[in-house]
């Protein structure tokens, strides 16, 4: 077992290793190889830290190795960490946190976690990131506010909703920007969203079924040994009871896959939804209450969210980021398409049904 060493000693050792790597024999008449770049020193330091786990995971500011200033804005680690991340400071008088060794080589994904974010605001954030950002994102929202009905982009209120009850009880109805079915969400719903570039997941074809299968394999890690989890058609189920509904949108270069998980639900809320004309075959004409189940009967809520993040970390290098940082990452102007349906629209749909 190697004895612990100080950060300064570790840094000096990285310089020595880099110098040794760059000092290969040169043909006659050639100049000696240039001093190693700071990026190489950072990566070498990272490797040495893996061998010396008691050393702090911090790289001190690198001294200049030539008479020419280093352009940190184009350096490897700067690109990896994201030059527009406001939580990261590349100044020469600051200490720079580096990613965990286990995530080296994995694509970067920004992680945002919320508690009780209104579902319409979440949908606006998701669509903005899908259409104006070039980075990968994971969003976990632990519940939303008042009960709200959310329909797919092509959903028809008259076919999906008990409109008279919805209007009488003033239940908000949203038409979202993705496909999929209709759900009613509230504080008992947990939302998980993945927004990715097409090349983010190796060998994944950017089509609905492959993306659905990929997400199912990720959640198989979350629910390993818990219930009889699997993907049935487009739903996540325990046995033959649904607890997770999925929706997607795929653009030229990016895709989004988001899921609403039924941690718990209010039986009364299910009465606002009609039995859809197009239903999965495994539903077998069952009512809503016979068709769905509660996740809380299978695992703790916080455990589910933590395990989801852990499973995502097996495929991405996660970087926590705050909501305020989105403006710096997506500067393009954006007008969201997800919106509340008006009472007039719902009333017109009800009249058309008569």
- Give the model's confidence band at 330: pLDDT under 50 very low, under 70 low, under 90 confident, else very high: low
Residue 92 has pLDDT above 80, yes or no: no
Residue 304 has pLDDT above 90, yes or no: yes
Determine the angle formed by the axes of helices 38-51 and 7-22, rounding to 10 degrees: 120
pLDDT of residue 46: 44
Q: Which two tokens stand for residue 126?
A: 């998701």
Residue carrying structure tokens 């075959």: 281
Residue 241 has pLDDT above 90, yes or no: yes
- Give the model's confidence band at 314: pLDDT under 50 very low, under 70 low, under 90 confident, else very high: very high
Instruction: For domain 108-352, give its CATH number from 3.40.50.150, 3.30.930.10, 3.40.1010.20, 3.40.50.1370.
Output: 3.30.930.10
Q: How far apart are CA 149 and CA 194, in angstroms?
A: 21
Q: Which two tokens stand for residue 178?
A: 């993705």
Query: Looking at residue 204, what DSSP letter applies?
Result: -
Residue 23 has pLDDT above 60, yes or no: no
CA torsion 328-178-302-223 (nearest 10°) is: -130
Section 83-100 average pLDDT: 34
Query: If residue 165 lies in a helix (H) or strand (E), which one and from where to where?
Result: helix 163-168
Q: Where are the beta strands (DSSP E) in 1-77?
A: 58-59
Among candidates 165, 338, 353, 351, which has minimal Cα distance to 277? 353
Q: How far apart are CA 172 and CA 149, in angstroms?
A: 6
pLDDT of residue 279: 87
CA 292 to chain centre: 25
pLDDT of residue 215: 98
pLDDT of residue 262: 97
pLDDT of residue 61: 38
Q: Mind listing the pLDDT tens digit for each residue in 40-56?
A: 444 444 444 444 444 33
Section 104-123 average pLDDT: 95
Q: Which two tokens stand for residue 175?
A: 């038409």
pLDDT of residue 303: 97
In this structure, the chain runs to a length of 354
Percentage, residues of the chain above pLDDT 70: 69
pLDDT of residue 329: 56
Q: Mind listing the pLDDT tens digit for each residue in 195-230?
A: 999 999 999 999 999 999 999 999 999 999 998 999
Residue 59 has pLDDT above 80, yes or no: no
pLDDT, mean over the chain: 79
pLDDT of residue 208: 97
pLDDT of residue 51: 45
Higher-pLDDT residue of 69, 144: 144
Q: Residues 5, 11, 12, 14: is their CA dihedral positive or negative?
A: positive
pLDDT of residue 324: 80
- pTM check: above 0.75: no
Q: How far apart are CA 185 and CA 147, in angstroms?
A: 6
Q: How far apart are CA 304 and CA 281, in angstroms?
A: 28
Residue 150 has pLDDT above 50, yes or no: yes
Q: Which two tokens stand for residue 318?
A: 């996660």
Q: In what order do the strands lie in the sheet with 136-142?
A: 229-232, 235-238, 241-250, 254-262, 189-197, 136-142, 108-115, 317-320
Q: Residues 114, 115, 120, 123: is their CA dihedral positive or negative?
A: positive
- Give the model's confidence band at 60: pLDDT under 50 very low, under 70 low, under 90 confident, else very high: very low
Q: Is 328 helix (H, G, I), strand (E, B) or coil?
A: helix
Residue 82 has pLDDT above 70, yes or no: no
Section 72-78 average pLDDT: 32
Residue 80 has pLDDT above 60, yes or no: no
Q: How far apart are CA 29 and CA 100, in angstroms?
A: 42
Q: Residues 155, 268, 348, 353: is their CA dihedral positive or negative?
A: positive
Q: Which two tokens stand for residue 267?
A: 């039986």
In angstroms and rounded to an integer, the radius of gyration of the C-alpha atoms of the chain is 25
pLDDT of residue 22: 46
Residue 10 has pLDDT above 70, yes or no: no
- Give the model's confidence band at 276: pLDDT under 50 very low, under 70 low, under 90 confident, else very high: confident
Q: Which of 18-22, 56-60, 80-84, 169-173 is most confident?
A: 169-173
Higher-pLDDT residue of 327, 177: 177
Q: How far apart are CA 213 and CA 235, in angstroms?
A: 11
Query: If residue 120 lies in a helix (H) or strand (E), which one and from where to where?
Result: helix 119-132
pLDDT of residue 328: 55
* Range 106-125 burial, b when 16+ CB lie within 10 A, else e: bbbbbbbebeebebbbbbbb
Task: Give the domain ranges of the chain.
Answer: 108-352
CA of 159: how far to CAs of 181, 324, 350, in Å? 11, 39, 9
């Amino acid at each position: 077992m190697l004895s612990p060493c100080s950060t300064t000693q570790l840094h000096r050792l990285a310089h020595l290793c880099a110098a040794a790597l760059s000092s290969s024999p040169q043909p006659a008449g050639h100049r000696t190889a240039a001093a190693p770049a700071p990026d190489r020193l950072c990566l070498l330091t990272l490797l040495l830290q893996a061998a010396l786990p008691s050393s702090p995971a911090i790289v001190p500011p690198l001294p200049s190795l030539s008479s020419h200033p280093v352009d940190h804005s184009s350096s490897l680690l700067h690109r990896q960490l994201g030059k527009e991340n406001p939580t990261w400071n590349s100044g020469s008088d600051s200490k720079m946190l580096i990613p965990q060794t286990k995530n080296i080589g994995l694509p970067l994904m920004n992680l945002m976690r919320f508690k009780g974010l209104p579902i319409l605001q979440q949908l606006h954030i998701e669509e903005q990131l899908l259409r104006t950002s070039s980075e990968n994102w994971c969003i976990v929202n632990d519940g939303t506010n008042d009960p709200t009905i959310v329909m797919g982009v092509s959903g028809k209120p008259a076919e999906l909703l008990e409109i008279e009850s919805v209007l009488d009880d003033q239940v908000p109805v949203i038409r979202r920007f993705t496909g999929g079915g209709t759900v009613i969400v509230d504080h008992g719903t947990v939302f998980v969203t993945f927004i990715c570039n097409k090349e983010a997941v190796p060998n994944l074809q950017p089509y609905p079924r492959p993306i659905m299968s990929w997400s199912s394999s990720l959640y198989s890690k979350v629910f390993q040994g818990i219930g009889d989890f699997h993907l049935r058609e487009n739903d996540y189920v325990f046995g033959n009871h649904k607890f997770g509904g999925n929706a997607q949108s795929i653009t030229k270069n990016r895709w989004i896959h988001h899921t609403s998980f039924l941690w718990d639900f209010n039986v009364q809320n299910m009465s606002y939804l009609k039995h859809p004309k197009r239903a999965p075959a495994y539903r077998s004409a069952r009512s809503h209450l016979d068709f769905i189940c509660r996740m809380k009967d299978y695992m703790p809520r916080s455990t589910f969210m933590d395990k989801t993040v852990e499973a995502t970390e097996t495929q991405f290098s996660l970087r926590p980021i705050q909501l305020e940082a989105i403006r710096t990452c997506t500067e393009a102007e954006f007008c969201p398409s997800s919106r509340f349906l008006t009472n007039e629209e719902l009333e017109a749909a009800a009249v058309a049904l008569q």
